[in-house]
Structure 1
């Protein structure tokens, strides 16, 4: 067992979290009938369909039995932009929890649980490409090389990656639906579908993308922690998730989760053999910027920890 702790400076100490539990308003307590049925948490469908994220939410809820029974259900299919708008609407109950990459804007209008759900891997990106286009990437080792080759990148219209890539001078083609981007790549609308290290293997397994290839030599790297978010008015769910993750970090189960769900992907993608192309992310809050920089600075150690005993 090893220690793999990623706690931001904003994350409360455990004693403070426990003290907060004593201050929950009486109105938040469920009736006996509601308690026996359990709280229903509506998880954004993209996260629900991803077993790694669904298991992390399950881990956090399981670590906090004092909040009562629970059930995780799948939301309706919403684009990321609409999902976040609904989450920010305090009168909406279309969904309760979403995991997305953070930005300063998102942390202002949503309630963030500031623990990187994948250990910071979302900001490490590889290119999903057409096999016949692999030669376009030969010899690329820098951001300037990518610009000179005119490499275009596909991303979601509402993803925070899009302005990051554009701010670094790269051409970005977008669509509001994640699923559509695979077809756009096949139709040569762009050259590289940049996918997170923690995402790309899931893509190949579950999105019928076995006709596509993972470019083997480049790793795009930028500070972009991925958090769980809840409604700004749903303080109880935020407290439960944060406490659950804090307990999982302290007892080592979060480290086990990271290794089990992402260790094979990190090892199979050969991150230690790739040319790392570092991009600036000007859109993070001070605290998330600190977390992101720490992640970038410790890439080698992170890879070693995640691939141990694989």
Structure 2
């Protein structure tokens, strides 16, 4: 079984079973110095992602003391270029959706950080746009509706939506997209169910609402990424998450940060619009496909 498949099996188990014993050997690293890790500001400002990075670092004390600090406010495209550069200290860690291209030029820590929920998306809309969504039952209906979706120009979701025949309007800055929605440049800002409640809390705009009936779903694992040569950080994050899965703290992390969204968005009752994602590596495609196949079971567990 490929190692990512093993990790995925552990991820599924961590939602359902009691903690199991795990090795906590600290051999191999001695006299490790303290280090600051620069986390992309969008992830730092997300309580869940920052908590996961801090959890992984906490589980690996043999690597030395650590501190997570906020990066400059860089676009996603700039962050990926800085990571790939290998010499930049503007950012050390970023959590973004994966793609085969990203896995080629960066180092991925191959765990879906939110249990695979990023590929499950709901529409943030203006109230007057809600009637456009009322009669949509399937992908053909969505295409026929001529609903335009807003997305980041560097996000891998954009080509996925376009490959499925859905028109997209893009901008390089996440913050600008909310203004474009308010100005009716598009009909739906598709946001991951693991991030949309936090987004709206930050926006504090009663004229932005979540469409109540549809769930757009496609294989889109979201990983932590580091630079191509930063193997020590990659090993530390991977080992820390593995230990958290084994001792049950990863399960608690998922429930703490994501069960609210599953309940409040009423995900188990929504109509699923399933899309294909042709841009994943073989192993990430396996993870994404398994996530979709287990969608209902995951939602049931997280809503308990």
Decide which of 74, 88, 93 is 2:89's aligned counterpart.
93
Residue 305 of structure 1: aligned partner: 301
Compute the TM-score of the two structures, normalised by the length of structure 1.
0.90
Offset of 1:19 from its aligned partner? Answer: 8.8
Q: Does 1:239 align with 2:239?
A: no
Residue 227 of structure 1: aligned partner: 223
Offset of 1:252 from its aligned partner? Answer: 0.8
Q: Summarize the Cα distance change of 1:115–1:63 in structure 2 as closer, same or farther, 3 Å threshold.
A: same
How many angstroms apart in 2 are the aligned matches of 1:21 and 1:194?
45
Give 5+ residue unaligned stretches, structure 2. 11-22
Compute the TM-score of the two structures, normalised by the length of structure 2.
0.92
Residue 39 of structure 2: aligned partner: 43
Q: Does 1:213 align with 2:209?
A: yes
Offset of 1:210 from its aligned partner? Answer: 3.0
Offset of 1:21 from its aligned partner? Answer: 6.2
Question: Secondary structure at 1:78's aligned position in 2?
Answer: coil
Question: Secondary structure at 1:8's aligned position in 2?
Answer: helix
Question: Secondary structure at 1:136's aligned position in 2?
Answer: helix
Offset of 1:153 from its aligned partner? Answer: 0.1
Question: Secondary structure at 1:139's aligned position in 2?
Answer: coil
Q: Summarize the Cα distance change of 1:235–1:155 in structure 2 as closer, same or farther, 3 Å threshold.
A: same
Q: Does the aligned pair in 1 maintain the 2:26–2:62 contact within 8 Å?
A: no
How many angstroms apart in 1 are the aligned matches of 2:65 and 2:26?
20
Offset of 1:10 from its aligned partner? Answer: 6.8
Residue 135 of structure 2: aligned partner: 139
Residue 161 of structure 2: aligned partner: 165
Q: Does the aligned pair in 1 maintain the 2:121–2:191 contact within 8 Å?
A: yes
Residue 292 of structure 2: aligned partner: 296
Offset of 1:261 from its aligned partner? Answer: 0.3
How many angstroms apart in 1 are the aligned matches of 2:132 and 2:196?
20
How many angstroms apart in 2 are the aligned matches of 1:143 and 1:284?
21
Q: Does 1:202 align with 2:198?
A: yes
Residue 275 of structure 1: aligned partner: 271
Residue 106 of structure 2: aligned partner: 110
Offset of 1:211 from its aligned partner? Answer: 1.9
Offset of 1:121 from its aligned partner? Answer: 0.1
Residue 17 of structure 2: aligned partner: none
Stretches (4+) displaced over 3 A: 10-13, 17-21
Q: Summarize the Cα distance change of 1:120–1:21 in structure 2 as closer, same or farther, 3 Å threshold.
A: farther
Residue 72 of structure 1: aligned partner: 68
Q: Does the aligned pair in 2 maintain the 1:125–1:221 contact within 8 Å?
A: yes
Residue 20 of structure 2: aligned partner: none
Offset of 1:132 from its aligned partner? Answer: 1.1
Residue 56 of structure 1: aligned partner: 52
Residues 216-240 of structure 1, C-alpha deviations (whole Å, 9 max, x = no match): 0100000000000001111110000
| Aligned length in residues | 292
How many angstroms apart in 2 are the aligned matches of 1:165 and 1:200?
18
How many angstroms apart in 2 are the aligned matches of 1:18 and 1:267?
35
Residue 259 of structure 1: aligned partner: 255
Q: Summarize the Cα distance change of 1:151–1:62 in structure 2 as closer, same or farther, 3 Å threshold.
A: same
Residues 241-287 of structure 1, C-alpha deviations (whole Å, 9 max, x = no match): 00000000111110110011000111110111111010000000011
How many angstroms apart in 2 are the aligned matches of 1:9 and 1:138?
38
Q: Summarize the Cα distance change of 1:172–1:20 in structure 2 as closer, same or farther, 3 Å threshold.
A: farther
Residues 34-86 of structure 1, C-alpha deviations (whole Å, 9 max, x = no match): x3xx2000000000000110000000000011111001000000000000000
